[in-house]
Structure 1
Amino acid sequence: MRTLTVAAAITALTGAALTGAASPAEAAPTVNMEAVVKAAMWDPYKSDQSVTPGSGDSVKLVEQALADKDLLDGKYVDGHFGTTTVTAYQEYQESLGHTGLAASGLPGKGSLTELGTGSYTLSAAITVGSKTTMDGKTVNTRTADMVKAAERRSGEDFTVTQGSYNAGGVGASGGTHDGGGAVDLSVRGLSDTDAAVKALREVGFAAWHRTESQGDWAAHIHAIAISDTDMSPEAQAQAGDYFEGRNGLANNGKDDGPQVTKVTWEEFQRG
């Protein structure tokens, strides 16, 4: 076994200092993107300032980076990704030249990485993938994988009747289909609609059975892929409602769907 003399050890440490090599104690902290995005989905719709479990440390690092750019007052560096942090993050996205849904205040991989330059590194990155189609409707590959997983879990065959990235094209949806992560599924031919909704929730969707009596639409299943970083603000609000036990409709009614442990797609895959 090779050992260093005291002199050699001092030389090695001095060399590391001169070359700028970081010691383990100096390593940059890590921001967990999954945790930050989950908080950004949930926190703005809470009635209090509570911190989303497992997200506080990562959110604080993001908030501190925003504060360092004079975009967020220091008193809001608290681990709660509320509306004030959303606004600050939106201003940061706009400073990078983003517009529209790319500057909604919902963190994406690119902007989180850029924000962390010199202050933190990023882990557990979320990728929604490229656009694809299901039943002729546009979705991203993350959403498609989630739908297929729910099909396997429920034993049902789903038909997508409305997809994602359909800006202004689904009037009754109130903008939820403008970005990514939103799908409507037909209830025709389903042997057990409740089991279908339950399976969708179990793989990471905020999903509800929408009936004709609830709005100007035919009966269908409406599903929002939690933590899809392409989703519209309206879809984000529905994800927040789901976490808060509401039905995602304008009446802010109680969630009428099957109760499950609320998870993201990434959490489901690990579990």
Structure 2
Amino acid sequence: MRKMAFAAMFTALSGAALTGTMAAGQAAAAPSVNMEAVVKAAMWDPYKPDQSITPGSGDSVKVVEQALAAKNLLDGKQVDGHFGTSTVTAYAKYQKSLGHSGLAASGLPGTGSLTELGKGRYTVTAAISVGSKTTMDGQTVNKRTADMIKAAEQRAGVDFTVTQGSYNAGGVGASGGTHDGGGAVDISVKNISNPTAAVKALREVGFAAWHRTPSQGDWVAHIHGIAISDTDMSPQAQAQAGDYFKGLNGLANHNSDDGPQVKKVTWEEFKRG
């Protein structure tokens, strides 16, 4: 009898230990959300003609969408890994529920809101930081943008002069709001003998960039750049990044891209490469 009782107790303890181990394993297996992948999808997906998934982003986007659906901000049928317009709208509603407004509630995920949304559901990895504001040639940019420009200068072998920076709401009417938030810059071409090479260098480090000429609009010749995946970006700048991914010129006419063709990357991808 003692042997049977001992065996029963051993079985019970072993079962409890196994259950505890399984529970710990399940807790450790809580999903993670790769912020780089989510933000890249938010840059690209809303402007696609289809519901295709941005490579490498589907799993993380789906976890974010599940969290939005759990808060009744997104219909369950939209939980598909595609960060399209419905997900943008849902995420903007979530940002507003946190008390955000303006560019902070545009539907583009930032580190703070993405982390808050994930409480009890997921952890955030590969967080993007745009850094504090600084100046280049007297123009305001954030640290991430400044670092990108410096890297492009090294690749192009020229010194860039920034003529319009970021966070310049209403500053230049012809810009159409693209410079209202972060990540947007205009660069002079006066001392650049090969603007195409300069645009290529900017694209290689993670800018959506184009050489703008007077024939295209009411401006002097310059290079216009949008730092892809800048989380402070204005909706107008996001639309230009979307055009870039689609192979367009980022202008109102949505003509074909007239710039040098490179592998489209973010700043973070460039640094790893």
TM-score by length of 1: 0.93
Root-mean-square deviation (CA), in Å? 2.1
Give the number of the structure whose alpha-carbon radius of gyration is greater.
2
Q: Give the structure 1 partner of residue 147 of structure 2.
A: 145
Matched residue type, 1:257: G
Contact 1:156 1:191 in 2 (8 A): no
Q: Give the structure 1 partner of residue 268 of structure 2.
A: 266
Distance apart, 1:30 and its partner CA: 0.6
1:73 paired to 2:75 = yes
Q: Which of residues 240, 250, 253 in structure 2 aligns to 1:251?
A: 253
Q: Give the structure 2 partner of residue 213 of structure 1.
A: 215
Distance apart, 1:29 and its partner CA: 0.5
Distance apart, 1:22 and its partner CA: 2.5
Distance apart, 1:250 and its partner CA: 0.1
Distance apart, 1:192 and its partner CA: 1.1
TM-aligned CA distance change 1:221 to 1:11, over 3 Å? same
Q: Give the structure 2 partner of residue 59 of structure 1.
A: 61
Q: Helix, strand or coil for the counterpart of 1:22?
A: helix
1:181 paired to 2:179 = no
TM-aligned CA distance change 1:195 to 1:7, over 3 Å? farther
Contact 1:146 1:203 in 2 (8 A): yes
In 2: Cα distance, 1:25 partner to 1:139 partner:
41
Contact 1:86 1:106 in 2 (8 A): yes
In 2: Cα distance, 1:254 partner to 1:30 partner:
37
Q: Which of residues 241, 244, 248 in structure 2 aligns to 1:242?
A: 244
TM-score by length of 2: 0.93
Q: Helix, strand or coil for the counterpart of 2:24?
A: coil
Alignment of 1:19-168 (within 5 A): 22-23=24-25, 26-168=28-170
Distance apart, 1:256 and its partner CA: 0.1
Which consecutive residues of structure 2, in runs of 5 or more, have no partner in the other structure? 1-8
In 2: Cα distance, 1:21 partner to 1:63 partner:
25
In 1: Cα distance, 2:123 partner to 2:17 partner:
26
Matched residue type, 2:245: F
Instruction: Count matched residues.
Output: 265
Distance apart, 1:11 and its partner CA: 6.9
TM-aligned CA distance change 1:13 to 1:154, over 3 Å? farther
In 2: Cα distance, 1:228 partner to 1:206 partner:
11
Distance apart, 1:17 and its partner CA: 3.7
Matched residue type, 1:61: V
Q: Helix, strand or coil for the counterpart of 2:255?
A: coil
Larger displacement relative to structure 2 (27-36 or 200-209): 27-36
In 2: Cα distance, 1:65 partner to 1:206 partner:
30
Q: Helix, strand or coil for the counterpart of 2:124?
A: strand
Alignment of 1:186-197 (within 5 A): 186-197=188-199
TM-aligned CA distance change 1:27 to 1:15, over 3 Å? same
Matched residue type, 1:116: G
Q: Which of residues 203, 210, 218 in structure 2 aligns to 1:201?
A: 203
Distance apart, 1:239 and its partner CA: 0.2
Alignment of 1:9-24 (within 5 A): 10=13, 14=17, 17=20, 22-23=24-25
